[in-house]
Structure 1
Amino acid sequence: MPQLYHANYATFELPERLLDKSVHMFTLNDHGPSDFNIVISQAETQAGEQLEEFGSRLVAELGRSLPRFELRSMTNRLLGGSPAVELVYSWRKDGNFMHQRQVITLTHGAGEDSVQAILIAATCLKPFTDEWNCMFDQMLASFTLRRPLAGAVPMPIAAPAPVEHPPITNPSGLPLVFTYSERRRMLVVHPDQEHACRKTDAREVEQDAWEFYDADGEPLTASFAISNASTLWGKPSEYQLAPSGQPHAPRLRDRLDHVAVLHTTDAAPKLATVADIRQHLARAIISQTG
C-alpha cells in the first residue's frame, strides 16, 4: 500500500516498494565549501536494536570509513522529548580536519512495527565556535518528531573511565618526540614528551595543526583532559601524549619528503638534518624487525 509522504514542498503517495532515503542539507552559501552546515538523514535499524546499540554501531562504522577518526564524546540527551544520543568527533579530509556534532534518535518507520534512526549532523571546517554551537542547539530545541517511539526511556551511557597514559615506550628506548606541522612544513625534534607538550601550543594542537611521533617515528595522539573551549578565560588546557593505536595512521617517514624547516635541540645533536632523521628511522625499523 502506498505511503502518504509529506515534504516541505509537496504531499504525495510514495509507491510501496520504494525506500525513503531522503537527505536534507542546510548550508551558509550556494557554492563552494560551507564553514558550517546541517544535514538530516535517516537509516534503518537492525531487528531489536536499541538507541545505544545503533550509536555504537555507527561509531564503529565511522572509525572504519573516516581517516584519523577520533570520537571526542558520546552522551545522552533529549530530542523533541524523546531519548537521543549525541556524538562529537573529528576526522581528516583533503588535508584538513572536519568537526561534527551528530544527534541520533529512533522513531517509528513507515512499515508496521519498523523502527528507523533520524540523524542530525552539524559539520564545521574548523572547531565549533560558540555561534555554531548556539545555532545547532537552537535548531535541536525546536524539533518535534512526527512518529516518536511510545514509552521510550533514555538509558544512561556509562562515563568512560579516566585514561591514564603511561610513559611513551618505543623499541629504541629513546625519549625523543617529533612534532610536525603540515601547514608550515616544519619538523621539530624535542628531547622528551614534557618538552614537546610545553613547547607546542595547546590551541593549535586541539585544532589538529600538529602531528606527534615517538622516537621511532610512530604516531602519537594528544589527549586533553578538558577542551580549550571549556577552560576559564579560554586558557589552554594541558594535554598528554599516548601511542595512536590507529594502524593506518601516517608515520614520520611519510612526512620527511615534505619537510622544509627543521628545528632540533642539543639533546639530539646527531639529528641535525632530514637525512640524519631518515637514517635514524631506518635503524629503528631494523631494530623492530630484528
Structure 2
Amino acid sequence: MQEPQQYYANHATFELPAALKDKTVHMFTLKDDGPSEFSVVISHADVQPEEKLEQFGERLVAELRRALPRFELKSLNDRTIDGAPAIELAYSWRNEGNFMHQRQAITLTQGSKPGTIVAMMIAATCLRSFSDEWNAAFDAILDSTKLRRPLSAAPAPRVTAALPPPTLPTIFALSEPRKTLHVFANKDEAGNSSTARNIETDHWEFYDANGTRLHANAARASGGLSLLRPAGSVTLERRPEVLGPNLRERLHLAQYIQASSASVPFYSLTEVRAHLDGLAER
C-alpha cells in the first residue's frame, strides 16, 4: 500500500491516503447567497499521457461546446502565468435565459503525486459582459499567481550548422489532422493564405521547398495569439534550431494535396515525393 502524502490546505496540513484523489476547488464570490456579479473558481484536471497544453485547450473547448447551450468561443490567446506557458479562453453561453460570460486561464503544473502533470484552471465568471473593473480584477489575480510546482523549463534547442537555401520558392503546409498537404507558390502567398487557426487548430507545419521545417509567427492581438484573426497574419522564417522531422519523413501522413494556385509546380503527392527523394540523393 502506498504511503500517505502530506496535503496542504489553506488552514491545515494532514496526511492524505494515497487512494484518495484530489478534487479540490477554490471558489470566491462577492456574496454569500444567490448569483454573484463576479466570481472566480480555481480547479485542476488530469492531463492525458503526452498531452500538450494546446491539445488540452482544444479538448476543453470541445467539452465546453458539448456541455454549454449556445456556447460561443470569443478568443483563445496565449499568455504566461508566473512565467509558465498558459492559454486563456474567453467565451459565453446561455443559462436560464441569460448569457454568462467567462474568462479562463490554463497552465500545466506538476501534480501532487510525483511524476504526474495536471492542468490548473483559473476561471472568472460574470453575469454580464466583463466590465473594465472585473477585467482588471481578474488580470491582477493572474499576474500575482505564483506556481508551487511549475514544470521544469524545457531544454535549450540543439543548434546545427546553417541550412542551405532552398532551390525553389515553394512552401508546403502539412496538416496531420486533416491529412492534407497544402502547396503555395512562395512565402508571401503562404502567409497571406494562413491564419493562427490553421496553426493552432489544424496544426499546420510549414516547410520550404527542400522540406526543411519553417518557424511560423502569427501576429498577436493585444491579449496574445488569437485564433479568430483573419488570414495574412502569419510570417515564416528559417531558423537553425532542429524543429523536428523534415517533410520527406512526414509526407506519409498526407492523403490529399491542395494547390493554392496554378503557379505551384506540384499537383500530386507523387510529384512531391519524387522531388524530396531527389534532394535526399544529392
Q: Structure 2 length as normaliser, TM-score?
A: 0.55
Instruction: Evaluate the alpha carbon distance shift between residue 62 and residue 26 of structure 1 in structure 2; reply closer, same or farther with a 3 A threshold.
Output: same
Q: Match of 1:76? A: 78
Residues 31-50 of structure 1: matches in 2 within 5 Å?
31-50=33-52
Q: Secondary structure at the match of 1:160?
A: helix
Q: Match of 1:159? A: 196
State the alpha-carbon separation in 2 of the partners of residues 129 and 54 from structure 1.
Answer: 28
Q: Secondary structure at the match of 1:141?
A: helix
Q: Match of 2:240? A: none
Residues 140-289 of structure 1: matches in 2 within 5 Å?
140-152=142-154, 159-160=196-197
What is the CA distance between 1:80 and its match in structure 2? 1.1
Q: Match of 1:174? A: none
**Aligned with residue 61 of structure 1, among 63, 67, 74:** 63
What is the one-letter code of the residue matched to 2:197? P
What is the CA distance between 1:71 and its match in structure 2? 0.4
What is the CA distance between 1:100 and its match in structure 2? 0.2
**Aligned with residue 19 of structure 1, among 17, 21, 33:** 21
- Contact 2:89–2:103 (8 Å) recurs in 1: yes
Q: Match of 1:108? A: 110
Q: Match of 2:5? A: 3
1:28 aligns with 2:65: no
State the alpha-carbon separation in 1 of the partners of residues 135 and 11 from structure 2.
Answer: 28
What is the CA distance between 1:44 and its match in structure 2? 0.4
What is the CA distance between 1:159 and its match in structure 2? 2.1
What is the one-letter code of the residue matched to 1:85? I
What is the CA distance between 1:2 and its match in structure 2? 1.1
- Contact 1:83–1:152 (8 Å) recurs in 2: no
What is the CA distance between 1:111 and its match in structure 2? 2.3
- 1:226-282 per-residue CA deviation (whole Å, 9 max, x = no partner) reads 9xxxxxxxxxxxxxxxxxxxxxxxxxxxxxxxxxxxxxxxxxxxxxxxxxxxxxxxx
Q: Secondary structure at the match of 2:63?
A: helix
Long gaps (5+) in structure 1: 162-223, 227-290
What is the CA distance between 1:225 and its match in structure 2? 8.8
State the alpha-carbon separation in 2 of the partners of residues 152 and 101 from structure 1.
Answer: 27
Higher relative contact order (CA 8 A, sep 6+): 2
State the alpha-carbon separation in 1 of the partners of residues 148 and 9 from structure 2.
Answer: 12
The share of aligned pairs that are identical, in percent, is: 60
State the alpha-carbon separation in 2 of the partners of residues 75 and 152 from structure 1.
Answer: 21
What is the one-letter code of the residue matched to 1:49? E
1:86 aligns with 2:123: no
Q: Structure 1 length as normaliser, TM-score?
A: 0.53
- 1:75-102 per-residue CA deviation (whole Å, 9 max, x = no partner) reads 1100011110000000000000000000
- Contact 1:82–1:152 (8 Å) recurs in 2: no
Q: Match of 1:126? A: 128
Instruction: Evaluate the alpha carbon distance shift between residue 85 and residue 152 of structure 1 in structure 2; reply closer, same or farther with a 3 A threshold.
Output: farther
- Contact 2:84–2:107 (8 Å) recurs in 1: yes
What is the CA distance between 1:160 and its match in structure 2? 3.2
What is the CA distance between 1:7 and its match in structure 2? 1.1
Q: Match of 1:165? A: none
State the alpha-carbon separation in 1 of the partners of residues 52 and 132 from structure 2.
Answer: 32
State the alpha-carbon separation in 1 of the partners of residues 100 and 229 from structure 2.
Answer: 21
**CA RMSD of superposed structures (Å):** 1.9
- 1:28-48 per-residue CA deviation (whole Å, 9 max, x = no partner) reads 011110000000001001001
- Contact 1:108–1:114 (8 Å) recurs in 2: yes
State the alpha-carbon separation in 2 of the partners of residues 225 and 114 from structure 1.
Answer: 35
